Amino acid sequence: MTAGRAAVVEADGRIVVSDVEYADPGPGEVLVRLTATGLCHTDLGVLAGGIPFPTPGIIGHEGAGRVEKVGANVRGISPGDAVLLSFTSCGACAACASVHPAYCETWLPRNLLGGLRADGSGGISRDGEPVAGHFFGQSSFGTHAIADERSVVRVAGDADLTVLAPLGCGVLTGFGSMWNVLDPGPTDIVAVYGAGAVGLSAVIAASLREPVQLIAVDRVASRLDLALELGATAVVDASSEDVGARLAELTGGRGVSLGFDTTGHPGVARTALDAAAVRGTVLVCGAPPPGTEIGVDIQGILTGKILRGVTMGDADPRDLVPQLVALHAAGRLPLEKLEKRYALDDIESAVADMHAGTTVKPVIVS
C-alpha cells in the first residue's frame, strides 16, 4: 500500500481532500506519483450530477507524473518514466483494432461508469473503506493514480509535466477533433463555438491549417481576445451580438463550412446548424446530461448539412499526444496561455474559477 492524499467527491457533491491509501498496481496497471492534473468540464459534469459516478469517489483524468510501480504483464513502461495519462480502452475490439480507441465497445464502463477495476475490486481506500476510482482509467485528483497501461503515454524525462498535463483530454479533444475529423483546408470557413480549453485548442489546430476564415464564438471577452491571439481571424461575442446574423455577415451569406460546438449546449448546436453552409458539417462534443436533445429543422439540413458527434477527438493518445508535445516544444501549441495552477487543497477554488470563466484551464498541482 502507498499512503497519499486525494480530492474525494462525496455523495452531496462536496470535494474533501482526504488521506487515502493506494493498493499496489494489478495486472496491466501502473502506480503513478502525480505532478499535476488538469481540471476538465467532464469533471464538472460529475460534480453537477450530470454524469453518473459512484461516491465517495476520485475523479480527474488529465494526470501527469512519474511511474513508481508497475503491475504484472505491463510492457514498455518502467519505474521512473515520465508519463501523461489519458482515457483507457480495451485494445481488442474492432474500434481499437482500427486505431479508433475513443469508440471502444467498452468505453463507457471503462472510463465513466464503473469506479472499480474490471474485476469489481477497488484500489483506493479511506479509513479502511473503499473509494471509487478508475475514472478514465486513472482517477488523478490526488498524489497518486492507479492507471491502466492503455491510459499511459511516455514522454521525455525532462518534460514539463505540469504544463503538459492537460494534453490527456481537453487539448486532445479540441485539437484532435479539428485535426482528425473536421480537417480544414485553405478554402474552408471554420467556426468554433465556445472558447474554453477544448475550443481554444481547436482554434490552434485550425490555425495551423490556415483556413480562409477562422471565427471563435463565446460570451467572455477575455477568451475572445485570447482566441484572436491564438489564430482566430474574427470573433463573435454571444453575450451582446446575434450570433447567426453576425456569422452571416462575416461569411458574406455563404455560411460556415466547418463548425465545432464545444459547449454541449443544444441551443448552441442548433445555432451552428442554422449557420452552416450548404454541405457544411457541424461537429459536437461535450458532456451534457443523458437525454439532452438537439432540435433539428429537417428542411434546414436538406442542403446536405451534416451533424456529427465526436469523442476524445477521435484520437489514439499514444499517437496524438507525442505530436502535441512536439508542437508545444516548437512553440506552436502555447499551453501556458490557457493555464493557471492551483494546489490540491485549493481544488474547489479551481472549480469555481472555471465555472466563472476566469480560468480557461486550471491545473491542480499535487
Same domain for 223 and 128: no
Same domain for 7 and 136: yes
Residue 49: the pLDDT is: 81
The answer to whether 166 and 62 have CB atoms below 8 angstroms apart is yes
Q: Which residues contact 242 (CB under 8 A, 6 or more apart)?
A: none
Q: Is residue 21 part of a domain?
A: yes
Predicted confidence band at 6 (pLDDT cuts at 50, 70, 90)? very high
Cell numbers 467532464 label which residue? 42
Residue 259: the pLDDT is: 98
- What dihedral do alpha carbons 260, 263, 265, 271 form, nearest 10°? -40
Same domain for 163 and 70: yes
Residue 50: the pLDDT is: 80
Does residue 118 surpass a pLDDT of 70?
no
Does residue 114 surpass a pLDDT of 90?
no
Does residue 63 surpass a pLDDT of 80?
yes
Residues shown for the chain: 366
Residue 289: the pLDDT is: 78
Domain count, the chain: 2
pTM here? 0.94
Distance CA 51, CA 280 (A): 31
Give the domain CATH number at 199.
Answer: 3.40.50.720
Q: Is residue 319 part of a domain?
A: no
Distance CA 136, CA 120 (A): 16
Interval 203-226 mean pLDDT: 97
Same domain for 177 and 128: no
Q: Which amino acid is at 331?
A: G
Residue 117: the pLDDT is: 72
Does residue 201 surpass a pLDDT of 80?
yes
Same domain for 151 and 298: no
Q: Over the stretch 119-157, which tens digit does the pLDDT of each residue have? A: 767 799 999 999 999 999 999 999 999 999 999 999 999
Does residue 287 surpass a pLDDT of 90?
no
Q: Is residue 176 part of a domain?
A: yes
Same domain for 141 and 7: yes
Same domain for 150 and 42: yes
What is the number of other CB atoms lying within 10 angstroms of the CB of residue 23? Answer: 17
Q: Is residue 323 part of a domain?
A: no
Residue 45: the pLDDT is: 87
Q: Which amino acid is at 92?
A: A
HSE (CB half, 13 Å, CA atoms) of 301? 14
Same domain for 52 and 178: no
Interval 311-320 mean pLDDT: 96
Q: Which residues contact 321 (CB under 8 A, 6 or more apart)?
A: 84, 86, 153, 155, 167, 168, 172
- Give the residue numbers spanning the domain of 268: 171-311
